[in-house]
Structure formats: structure tokens, C-alpha cells
Amino acid sequence: MQEETHLIDMRQIHKRFVMGDTVVEALKGVSLSVDEGEFLGILGPSGSGKSTLMNVIGCMDTFQEGSYRLMGIPMETLEDDKLTIVRNRLIGFIFQRYHLIGKYTVLQNVMMPLLSRGMRYEEAAKIAAQKLSMLDMGKRLDHKPNELSGGQQQRAAIARALVGNPKLLLADEPTGALDTKTGKDVLKLFQELNAMGHTIVMITHDLSVAESAKRVVRIIDGELYAEEETN
Ligand SMILES: Nc1ncnc2c1ncn2[C@@H]1O[C@H](COP(=O)(O)OP(=O)(O)OP(=O)(O)O)[C@@H](O)[C@H]1O
Ligand SMILES: [Mg+2]
């Protein structure tokens, strides 16, 4: 019998930071599997290891022990240039402070993942404009990020994350810089994207934010705990 392939399959991941004589065990044997179509919330207090875990899931950082397969591909043995390809092709990142590039227009920002794959400018512009229109940003294509509200900047960042059709949307405190109402709108958008089939992993310290996800796991002091179905 063939074993089912999870989108994310982490087993007993250990991540240590060594600073002089002190060793910080940021992840203490974390195991996690996420299947396509899930909307998972990872909930934990400050210092619990959320960003460390996000960096490992997002192939932005290495780990000392354990195994991590993304779509069945073992990450621990990939070279840096291959990891860059994995990041660009498989994962769309969404950050608390949007991380849009200030000197570029909204359209150009959203085109970036396509251009870095070698797509022609005109084609990338067309696809990026479609994605922005889908997210109600069609009238803001030529604006610079500082000419947008926080909610609009986050929608532009979500368009950028989606534009290359990644397998996974990875969000770190995506509502952390937004007011309550705008934050709720972003979470509703995530639920809609998930209903359309997008797999989402969202990291937060806020229970009311995590509850928008379909499943929640808790991280406390580098360890992952009991999973709850929320809705
Ligand atoms: N580069 C690093 N060097 C040394 N220690 C680190 C490093 N990054 C994180 N740590 C330590 O690892 C632990 C987990 O940190 P992490 O940033 O993952 O927490 P977090 O849950 O994201 O917290 P926050 O909610 O405040 O962002 C902390 O004790 C932190 O001090
Ligand atoms: Mg953090």
C-alpha cells in the first residue's frame, strides 16, 4: 500500500540557536502534517517558536534534526539554489507588514514572482492585473504602496502571494498591522480563498484570528500541541 503524500510532512524537527555558551531550543521535536485544501492556524504566545517554525515551513531556514518533506520533496538535502526555486514555485508568503517594495507600483510588485521565473513583462503584467482585479484592487494598479490603506496594501500582498499559483499560502500575523474591521475582511478573504481550494497556513498569537482557520494547532515553548477543529 502506498503511503499518502501530505503537502507538508514534518517529523521530529529540532531547531537550536547557539549563542556563545547558551543554546536556545526553539523547536523541540515538532511533527506536523498538512494536506492540500486545509486552512491551518498555528497559535502561540511570543517567543514560542512561531517565526522559527514559519521559516522552516517556508524553506527560509535549516534545522538540525528531523525530516521535512514539502509535496514529497525532502527539504533537508536541497541545495540553496533549489530551495530558492521551491520558495518561488510552491509557496506564497504573506507578512504582517506587507513587504511591498515602495518604489514600485502595485502592479509591478505583484508581477515580481512571475518576472523572477523568467516570464515576459507583458504577460506578467496581464496575469498580475487579473489577480489584482479579482481582489478588488483593479483600480489601484498604478499606485505606489504608500498611496494605499493598510487593508489595500495587504490585498496587494495577497495578490502577489497568489499570482504564481503556489501550492501553499504561508501567512505570518497577516492581520497584525490592521484595525479590527480590516483584519476581519482579510480573514474572510482567506476563508474564500480556502473555499476556492487554496491551502493556507496562518501563524498568529491571537486566538480570535486563529479561529478563522478550519484547524488550529498550538505551539508552546517549541512544542506543538493538540489539534482542535474550529468549524
Ligand atoms: N536568530 C536567533 N538566534 C538566537 N535565538 C533565536 C533566534 N531566533 C529566535 N530565537 C529564539 O527562539 C525562540 C523562539 O523565537 P521565535 O522568533 O520563533 O518566537 P515567536 O513565537 O515568533 O515570537 P513572537 O510572537 O514574539 O514573534 C525565542 O526564545 C527566541 O529568543
Ligand atoms: Mg515571530
Domain that holds residue 162: 8-229
- Alpha carbons 148 and 159: distance in angstroms, whole number: 14
pLDDT tens for the chain, residues 1 to 231: 556 799 999 999 999 999 999 999 999 999 999 999 999 999 999 999 999 999 999 998 889 999 999 999 998 888 888 888 888 889 999 998 899 999 999 999 999 999 998 999 999 999 999 999 999 999 999 999 999 999 999 999 999 999 999 999 999 999 998 899 999 999 999 999 999 999 999 999 999 999 999 999 999 999 999 765 555
- Cα 128 to middle of ligand 1, angstroms: 34
pTM: 0.93
Q: Whose CA is nearest to atom 16 of ligand 1?
A: 49
- From 52, 209, 217, 221, the mutation candidate for ligand 1 (largest count of ligand atoms within 8 A of CB) is 52
Residue 2 lies in a domain: no
Residue 200 belongs to domain with CATH number? 3.40.50.300
Is any atom of ligand 1 closer than 6 Å to the C-beta of 88?
no
Q: How many domains does the chain have?
A: 1
Name the residue among 62, 77, 42 with its Cα closest to residue 213. 42
Give the SS3 label for residue 119.
coil
CB of 33 closer than 8 Å to CB of 70: no
